[in-house]
A and B are shown apart, each in its own frame.
Chain A
Amino acid sequence: AQSVAQPEDQVNVAEGNPLTVKCTYSVSGNPYLFWYVQYPNRGLQFLLKYITGDNLVKGSYGFEAEFNKSQTSFHLKKPSALVSDSALYFCAVRVSGSARQLTFGSGTQLTVLP
Chain B
Amino acid sequence: DGGITQSPKYLFRKEGQNVTLSCEQNLNHDAMYWYRQDPGQGLRLIYYSQIVNDFQKGDIAEGYSVSREKKESFPLTVTSAQKNPTAFYLCASSTPSVRPEAFFGQGTRLTVV
Contact = CB atoms under 8 A, between A and B. Distances in A.
Do chains A and B stick together as partners? yes
Consensus secondary structure, chain B interface: strand
A106 B90 contact: no
Contact of B42 (A34, A94, A96, A106): A106
Could you tell me the dominant secondary structure of chain A's interface residues? loop
Q: Which of B33, B44, B102 has the most CB of A within 10 A?
A: B102
Given A41-B109, A44-B90, A101-B33, A107 B42 contact: yes
Given A101-B33, A101-B48, A106-B40, A43 B104 contact: yes
Interface string B63-106: 00000000000000000000000001010101010001111111
B32 to A, nearest CB: 10
B104 A32 contact: no
Contacts of B94: 101
How many residues of B sit at the interface, in one of the four size bands? 20 to 34
User: What size tier do the contact residues of chain A reach?
Assistant: 20 to 34
B7 interface: no
Contact of B41 (A99, A100, A101, A106): A106
B40 A90 contact: no
B51 to A, nearest CB: 10
Interface of B: 4, 6, 31, 33, 35, 40-45, 48, 50, 58, 88, 90, 92, 94, 96, 100-107, 109
Interface of A: 9, 32, 34, 36, 41-46, 49, 51, 90, 94, 96, 99-107
17 contacts: A36-B104, A41-B107, A42-B107, A43-B6, A43-B90, A43-B107, A44-B90, A44-B92, A49-B100, A49-B101, A94-B96, A100-B48, A101-B31, A101-B33, A101-B58, A103-B45, A106-B40
